[in-house]
Amino acid sequence: MTAKMAAPMSNVDEIRDRVILGEFGVKNVHTTDYPGNYPGYDDTWDLGKFKKNFRIDIVNSDEDMLEFDMIGIDASIANAFRRILLAEVPTMAIEKVFIYNNTSIIQDEILAHRLGLVPIKADPRLFEYRNPEDQEGTEIDTIQLQLKVKCTRNPRAPKDSSDPKELYLNHMVYSGDIKWLPIGNQADVFADAKIGPVHGDILLAQLRPGQELDIVMHCVKGIGKDHAKFSPVATASYRLLPEITLLQTIEGEQAERLKRCFSPGVIEIQNVNGRKVAKVINSRLDTCSREVLRHDDLKNLVKLGRVRDHFIFSVESTGILSADVLVTEAIKVLISKCQKFLTELDAAEMD
């Protein structure tokens, strides 16, 4: 953790390594540790030094959520990684909707748009990009889905009932009603894949007796840069690790007020020789609200900052791929971009 008590830091080191939250603004927001900028500091980029300082620490991980720390990199790299997660990791999504019958009150265009945003559980790594000129699609680049639902009256409904759930059958159309229609040898190749919507409880339309939907959909491989429906994450964000430094001992009523200025778990009151003393327990939980700077007797006793090269990433998957797989795929995309750039540099030198 970054809990500190009056830890001395030179002004140059603070400018280089910390973002400072002041009462009327934020200081040191720009990276300044480039070669030659600070006398006595060797800021030339060195691979060995980078390997020594860079690390990734997994904090929390489950199927759809991943929180990890990326330490020892510049904000430009961290942001490139975030943007790749949002827009350049491919997924499968509904691209073409063939509506053979739609007698519901929802217009064809609205229904097609709703269908396109339904996350589809299919591993994009097993498919190829579809040729834009190909209208039909093949088993290697297309997934075919069908939605066929007709609403009827429930013959067993109570006579005095007015509840649609009792009066009608199939009056609520959910994403779970979408069925997979294998193309070619897909039934054998993806026998254990369970291709279909990630969530079966997404409401698509409501019907009344006599109304029906008969729709065939084609899913193709794409990236979020082309359309948001291909984005594999619900959110991918980062923040800098907060750092809270107590410049002197704070006790008694001041300590209680200091604790209330921060998020729960950041500051705790400890008993030291019969005195109530404030201690920084977990600055990671702080939201950097700067509430403490509103108290005239406290604002000069605390220094608020953020560690410039310590990024706390939060990645939430839509469920198409697990969060850890998405991070791995994003790293692969970043590596391929670097390799392409190096190839272009070599080609330019040869010319």
Domain layout of the chain by residue ranges: 16-89+232-247+301-338, 91-231
DSSP letter, residue 131: P
Residue 9: what pLDDT?
A: 62
Residue 148: what pLDDT?
A: 97
Residue 31: what pLDDT?
A: 83
Q: Which of 278, 284, 283, 289 is closest to 247 using CA atoms?
A: 278
147, 173 contact by CB (below 8 A): yes
CATH number listed for the domain at residues 91-231: 2.170.120.12
306, 242 contact by CB (below 8 A): yes
Instruction: Identify residue 69 by its one-letter amino acid code.
Output: D
Is it true that 16-89+232-247+301-338 and 91-231 share their CATH fold? no
Which two structure tokens, joined as six digits, stand for 184?
């070619």
Residue 183: what pLDDT?
A: 92
DSSP letter, residue 190: T
Residue 202: what pLDDT?
A: 96
Q: Which of 288, 282, 281, 280 is closest to 239 using CA atoms?
A: 288
Residues of the chain with pLDDT under 70: 1-10
Residue 182: what pLDDT?
A: 93
Q: Which of 132, 149, 138 is closest to 95 using CA atoms?
A: 132
Task: Rounding to the nearest 10 degrees, give the CA dihedral for residues 111, 112, 113, 116.
Answer: 120
Write down the residue that tokens 């190829």 correspond to.
128
Residue 8: what pLDDT?
A: 52
54, 72 contact by CB (below 8 A): yes
DSSP letter, residue 337: H
Choose the CATH number for 16-89+232-247+301-338 among 3.40.50.620, 3.90.190.10, 3.30.1360.10, 3.40.1710.10: 3.30.1360.10
